[in-house]
Amino acid sequence: MDTLLHLLEHYGLWVVFIAVLLDQGGLPVPAFPPIMVASALAVEAQQPVWPIVLVATVAALLADGAWYAGGRRFGTHLVRLMCRLSLSPDSCVASTRDTYARWGAPSLVVAKFIPGFAALATTLAGQTGTGLVRFAFYDGLGAALWALVAVGTGALFHDAVNEVLIRIESLGQAGVMLLLAAIVLFLAYKAWKRQRFIRLIQMARISVPELQQLIDGGAEPLVLDVRPLAQREASGWIPGAVLASHVRELELAPQHEVIVYCDCPNEASAAQLARELKQRGFKRVRPLAGGFEAWQAHGLPVAR
């Protein structure tokens, strides 16, 4: 614990920079606590806190810039990879993507305050072609606001933060073990939430060849496209598919044969909507395995 305090007291800005860079880079490293502690120590030592705000903002911009560049270069493939690896897979469903599609770059101002949305929003900014200057402006505002809140919290409650540090320091190695246990529990909780979400969306899927066979056989299933409107317009859609991001938008009889598709890992968005439809009495609702990307991979027609 003495080593940790020594690092924070003498290399606080570097600790903040690295923590924010890793946190905003997508790793499960909490950045808020180091910023708060560094701010509390600075106030206690009667030092200015603005360098902490500046360092945290710059580190966040660097990490966000990397996600933005990746989104421009790799587009949907990077978004899918992020969602597959994320400890917050529910952030990749259509409702979250729709937030950026609806509000665009200004949503970056509050993105860091929404769990699971920050890295996804910056990647979507690159994927959707948001201009670099526009991205830097709104993302810079968001990073600065987020850093100010963290630093302000640490400065405002510096007495309480320092008291906690003293208590932990008095515990010696047990204090370090307590901190490590808290981190492990946090990661375990996020992993449990991920597995719970994946179990929640488990249901029978329909393959692309099966859907094509239904269409060719004259079954005329109702096909629902749950992707954001901007993404649908950019990539096209399965012929005859109806745009429907929310159940409340639909006026359907429960006897319909319904196929739902998206373009996210595990068909998360499609499975969520399908599950809601089943709760409303629909008996025959299935997500399309592989989503729109699988439809394209089979070389089938796309409407635009």
List the domain boundaries for the chain: 2-199, 208-297
Most confident listed range (69-83, 137-151, 276-290): 137-151
* Residue that has been written with the tokens 């394209």 in this structure: 296
Place of tokens 């060719």: 216
What's the distance, CA 111 to chain centroid?
9
CB of 282 closer than 8 Å to CB of 254: yes
What value does the mean pLDDT of the chain take?
A: 79
pTM of the predicted protein model? 0.63
For 208-297, CATH number? 3.40.250.10
pLDDT of 10 = 66
Report CA-CA distances (Å) from 70 to 79, 125, 253: 9, 10, 43
Is it the case that residue 175 has pLDDT exceeding 90?
no
Q: Select from 70, 142, 62 the least CA-distant residue to 105.
A: 142
Confidence of residue 137 (pLDDT cuts 50, 70, 90): very high
Q: Catalogue the E-assigned strands of the chain.
A: 222-225, 242-243, 258-261, 285-287
pLDDT tens digit sequence for 6-57:
566 666 788 899 989 988 877 777 788 888 888 888 888 888 999 999 999 9
